[in-house]
Amino acid sequence: MDKYCVFGNPIAHSKSPEIHAAYAAQTGQPLAYEKWLAPLDGFAATVQAFIAAGGKGANVTVPFKLEAHKLATALTVRAQAAGAVNTLLFGDDGSITGDNTDGAGLVADIVQNAGVPISGKRVLLLGAGGAARGVVLPILEHRPAALVIANRTVATAEALVEQFGALAGPGVLSACGYAAVQGAYDIIINATSASLSADLPPVPAGAFAPGALALDMMYGAQPTVFMQFAASHGAVARDGLGMLVEQAAEAFHLWRGVRPQTGPVLQQLRAKL
């Protein structure tokens, strides 16, 4: 039985074991998946202990995604671009491949589950931290008409434009402060952590085009403040649960070479919120 886990601190709240157990049952893959609490100052040692115990791969959550990036002996293109790793693959030769499936998970949720194409659309990304950084490349791969990164500290958003500018068409990628957001957008993504403190990023109400998709990377039993605000201004609000399920499917595919069906698992998790 191949062993996988999710590393984090805290970790008790993680839904990853439930998601991967569902994928394993659905695809007939023989694997065991568990939560591993890593000490804040002992991530690398904990990973090595898991490998020694027969671990084949792992997911990585807060606050270890940057450390996982450093620990990897090889990085996928999207992990290099994101500067953070949320998925590890352990080779028999002692290699540790780092991947980042967050952006691919977000894009899959938007395009497949929500049924909203990104191609040719105006996209507004709120925030320029790690969560935002991980999704810029996968969004650009879908060729939006525009991708604007809005952030409190404009220089942080501008650094992302600098990093990814060559991958976008002329004039596609730009950065600004929240107050400088102009016009309406088809897709608005909240990649800030504001929802964790029931706060709202200062996005202008006019940014939501009628019927726009407004997606918050956070999720809970009730709509976040951002989702409520977006819905009150004519947008279709969506939380981050689909992104969670999709990024897990991407990791599962990396480990097992099999792509699970995400729809039933998303429904199952949604019913339990």
Domain co-membership, 258 together with 164: no
Instruction: Name the residue among 134, 135, 18, 3 with its Cα closest to residue 58.
Output: 3
Say if residue 53 is in the same domain as residue 171. no
Task: Please check whether residues 143 and 116 belong to one and the same domain.
Answer: yes
Question: Are 84 and 107 found together in one domain?
Answer: no
Sheet holding 173-176, edge to edge: 173-176, 146-150, 122-126, 185-190, 208-216, 236-238
Residue 64 has pLDDT above 90, yes or no: yes
31-37 and 55-60 beta bridge pairing: unpaired
**Residue 81 shares a structural domain with residue 115:** no
Domain count for the chain: 2
Query: Given a cut of 90, is residue 194 above it in pLDDT?
Result: no
What average pLDDT does the segment 1-26 reach?
A: 97
Sign of CA dihedral 174, 127, 250, 236: negative
Q: How confident is the model at residue 70 (pLDDT cuts 50, 70, 90)?
A: very high
Give me the mean pLDDT over the 196-205 stretch.
Answer: 91
Residues 79 and 115 placed together within one structural domain of the fold: no
**What is the reported pLDDT for 130?**
87
Predicted local distance difference test score (pLDDT) of residue 66:
92
Instruction: Tell me the per-residue pLDDT of 104-160, one tens digit each, with 9 for 90 and over.
Output: 999 999 999 999 999 999 999 999 998 999 999 999 999 999 999 999 999 999 999
* 96 and 6 together in one domain: yes
Considering the domain architecture, whether residues 232 and 113 belong to the same structural domain is answered as yes
CATH number of the domain bearing residue 80: 3.40.50.10860
Sequence ranges of the binding site: 14-16, 61, 86, 102, 127-131, 217, 219, 240, 247
* Domain shared by 144 and 71, yes or no: no
Catalytic residue among 35, 65, 121, 272: 65
In this structure, what DSSP letter does residue 41 have? Answer: T
What pLDDT, on a 0 to 100 scale, did the predictor assign at position 169? 83
Per-position b or e across 179-192, b if 16+ CB within 10 A of its CB: eebeebbbbbbbbb
Predicted confidence at residue 61, as pLDDT, reads 93
In this structure, what CATH number is given to the domain that contains residue 127? Answer: 3.40.50.720
Cβ contacts of residue 51 below 8 Å, gap of 6+? 90
Are 235 and 109 members of one domain? yes
Q: Which of helix, strand or coil describes residue 22?
A: helix
| Percent residues over pLDDT 70 in the chain | 100
Residues of the binding site for shikimate: 14-16, 61, 86, 102, 219, 247
Q: Provide mean pLDDT across the span 207-216.
A: 97
d(CA 137, CA 166): 11
- Identify the pLDDT of residue 196: 84
36 with 24, same domain: the answer is: yes
pTM of full prediction above 0.85: yes
59 and 182 co-located in one domain: no
Q: Extract the annotated binding site for NADP(+).
A: 127-131, 217, 240
* Whether 56 is catalytic: no
Please compute the mean of the pLDDT values over residues 162-188 and round it to a whole number.
95
Domain assignment of residue 160, given as a range: 103-239
